[in-house]
Amino acid sequence: MKLILTLISGICWTIVYIDGIRLGFKHRSYAIPFYALALNFAWELLYTYYGFQSTISVQALVNAVWLVFDAGILITYFKYGRKYFPARLPGSAPAAADNNATPFIVWSALTLIAACCVEYAFRKEFGVRVGAGYSAFLQNLLMSVLFINMLVRRGSREGQSLTIAVGKWLGTLAPTALFGIIGDGGFPNGSFLIVVVGMLCSIFDLIYIGLLLKTKPA
């Protein structure tokens, strides 16, 4: 059962990443909300690094592959994401704001740095296995909420698809059962926190899927 749940999660998230890159270039957009994407990228960067410091495990290799996929989605964000950034910042002149990409780049870089600090803090506070689990589920909940926000702000399926939505839902539900109920990794006896956060993810993911079904394709 543990292997099956692990495979379900791995396959579903891989599909999410691949379709996210595809849609990003197709729709000239980006497919994962940036703040959640920044945390995901930082998580995979950190735990890929630690995974390769000792005996290389299958999970370390999977993290490395996901890191590459996240980098691909980050490319679409930096290539197309500026159009979603505020056209003017407080105190900026309209003409200067139209042609100045610096605020977008600086803010994005600052967000990525902050994400790395947060992920390292989880690792430092709770250790590698528990810290990885807690941070992964909490940023997953953030992603679930931000997907709904992204759909509402864009008003269309631009950069979004049911493939991503369903894959994200199932890819989170499987490890919720694995780590929260059955028990594995840093949570051999399960985790009430992971069950609660995982269930909240499912609620928001299902709301997002329902909203997508009512939204016209891009």
pLDDT in tens, 118-165: 999 999 999 999 999 999 999 999 999 999 999 999 999 999 999 999
Give me the DSSP letters along the chain. Answer: -HHHHHHHHHHHHHHHHHHHHHHHHHHTS-SS-HHHHHHHHHHHHHHHHHHTTSSPPHHHHHHHHHHHHHHHHHHHHHHHGGGGS-S--TT--HHHHHH--HHHHHHHHHHHHHHHHHHHHHHHHH-HHHHHHHHHHHHHHHHHHHHHHHHHHH-S-TT--HHHHHHHHHHHHHHIIIIIII-BTTBTT--HHHHHHHHHHHHHHHHHHHHHHTS---
pLDDT score, position 99: 66
Tens-digit pLDDT profile for residues 65-107: 999 999 999 999 999 999 998 865 565 555 445 567 889 999 9
Least confident of 5-9, 15-19, 201-205, 206-210: 5-9
Q: What integer best gives the mean pLDDT of the chain?
A: 92
In a domain, 58, yes or no: yes
**Residue 57: which domain range?**
2-85+99-213
In a domain, 75, yes or no: yes
Mean pLDDT of 28-49: 96
In a domain, 71, yes or no: yes
Rounded-to-integer distance, Cα 178 and Cα 194, Å? 10
In a domain, 157, yes or no: yes
In a domain, 90, yes or no: no
Q: pTM score > 0.85 for this model? A: yes
In a domain, 93, yes or no: no
Considering its fold, how many domains does the chain have in total? Answer: 1
In a domain, 218, yes or no: no
